[in-house]
Structure 1
Amino acid sequence: MVPLRDHLGALYRDTIAVSEAARRWFDGPGRLWREELPPGPRLAASMEALGVTTRLLAVMNWLLRPDHYGEVTVLGPIDCPELPPLPADHPLLATDGGPIALASRKVLARAHQLAALNGETP
């Protein structure tokens, strides 16, 4: 069995990688792409961009809790709900931002799974 610390470390590294990809895309080509969209799709893309940021910050906040330092034996619940999948017609899915949005959901789901493995309800 892999120690809990190793799971937390891997999740931390993956969260940082997704955060960096999100910053590069949403602040660069994604911003330019969004500005060209009609109002409805622009709002949907902007809301998902905010959702990506919220999810990643929630995971980082949970990972960096003081009681997760050292030899971790118990994890508390993460205070960020999991979301349903993005609709298949979401405008972001046809761009390089789509995999980033999906990856942010996956790291959040992993945090929930780790918390649940410790007998906590997410």
Structure 2
Amino acid sequence: MPTAKPHPHAQPACRAVSEVLSRVGDKWTVLVVKALVDGPRRFNDLKRDIGGISQQMLTRTLRTLERDGMVARTVHPTIPPSVEYTLTDLGLSLSIPVLALADWTFANLDCIHANREAYDAALAAAA
């Protein structure tokens, strides 16, 4: 039986999708998008709201989202300068699946933990 030839663009497309998913599926990206969905926020406000994120990681995540066109950075001419971050239209469109994933996670977390415990117990019993 002849084997199917891979689509000539399959590998580049998979790489492109993988690259974008690795960025937008990152836990910090998800939490930043979730924090920005209600409107503009300042850096320290985001840092306080997103538990456990370091200043360096928040800076890196915001820069990546800005580079990809999902976050806009606005510098207000005050002394000292005030900087706000907000989701662009592209970022808002990303927030729809991101928030759905976050909601699904919270709704199923207890079940997932119970399944993990049962799996680990069965594995330990078989050993």
Q: Which TM-score band (shorter chain)?
A: under 0.3
Larger radius of gyration: 2
TM-score (norm 1): 0.28
Of structures 1 and 2, the one scoring higher in RCO (CA 8 A, sep 6+) is 1
